[in-house]
Every structure is written in structure tokens, then in C-alpha cells.
Amino acid sequence: MKLGLVTYQWGKDWDLPTVIKNCELTGFAGVELRSTHKHGVEISLNAEQRAEVRKRFADSPVELVGLGSACEYHSADPAVLKKNIEETKEFIKLCRDTGGSGVKVRPNGFVKDVPHEQTLEQIGKSLREVGVFGAEHGVQIRLEVHGRETCLLPNIRKMLDVADHPNVMVCWNCNPTDMEGEGLEA
């Protein structure tokens, strides 16, 4: 087993050289860089900056496992949904360019007055769209088990069933709710 780091808590205040150095010193084999943190690996980077990020990881024993986005697909507003899908596609390109293998996305809850089944269907269809795009670029889509109620395994299962794409994976969030209910096989 290999141990890695997500910069969500630890590492959020480190620049990229410090992230890599601290992972090396502590024996972390890989890192997921969560967007908006001090490391600065963001979709706004130009081609030269992306190549520099790739080189930094290539020159170290630390693997860039992927990028953690805050992209989510539950909004009832079509413009917000489209923005999140398009932003995910930009993260996919960034991930490919910097040498990562996946982009983490998340469900983040249900919208008041929208049937849950409708929201799960929408999330699943969005996952399929970004899953196809990711596959075309060699980048996995990692669905984080996340959000009030959307984190429940039957809901995650429904999203995956609707997505129905081999490039869409589940990424566990290590919360107590992960152990509740009958699991994905139910």
C-alpha cells in the first residue's frame, strides 16, 4: 500500500516546491492537489507553467495523482450546471498537461423542491459527459462520496448507473457515513 496526501487540509498553505519536498520527507508517494490552494496549480496556468509543474513532479519521487476540483452537477440552474461541466473539462486538460491521472468532482447535495431522482439523473448524465471527455484525454473522473444525502451509497450507485462509463470512478471521502447502509452491492 502507498500513502498519499490531499492538500485539502494538510498542505493547503504550501507552495508547490514545499508540497513535493514535504511529501518526499514524509514518504508520501503521491499527492492530489486541491484547487484554490497555495500550490497554484490552477486552470489559469499557461502551457509553459503547466510544463514546469509536470517537470517538478517528474524530477521527484512524488506522483501527481490528480487534481481535486470543486466541480459539482446538482444545480437546478442550467447555466451553473454548464459552467461546472465546462470547468471540469478545463481541469481535465490541466491534469493531462501536468501529468496527473484523474480529476475529482463531487455531488454536493440535493436542491430544495427538485425531486431527488431528477437530481441524481442530472448528476449521472453530467458525469457521463465529463467521463467521455476525460477518456479522450487520458484522465479519469473520480466521483467523491460527498454531500448531505448525496453521499449515501444508494445515491452514489444511482449516479454511477446513470453515468454508465468506465472512466467514471468512485473516490471515498473517509466519512462515517461510508459505512452506513447496505453498501454499493445492495
d(CA 163, CA 67) in angstroms, rounded, equals 20
Place of cell 520527507: 25
* Domain segments of the chain as ranges: 1-67, 69-186
Chain-centre distance of CA 75, in angstroms? Answer: 17
Query: What is the chain's length?
Result: 186
pLDDT tens digits in sequence order for the chain, 186 residues long: 888 989 988 899 999 999 999 999 999 999 999 999 999 999 999 999 999 999 999 999 999 999 999 999 999 999 999 999 999 999 999 999 999 999 999 999 999 999 999 999 999 999 999 999 999 999 999 999 988 899 988 999 999 999 999 999 999 877 777 667 666 565
Q: Is 10 exposed, middle or buried (0-12, 13-18, 19+ CB in 10 A)?
A: middle
Selecting from 3.90.550.10, 3.30.70.20, 3.20.20.150, 1.20.1440.230, what CATH number does the domain 69-186 have? 3.20.20.150
Listed residue (173, 41, 62, 46) closest to 107, CA to CA: 173
pTM score, two decimals?
Answer: 0.93
d(CA 147, CA 65) in angstroms, rounded, equals 23
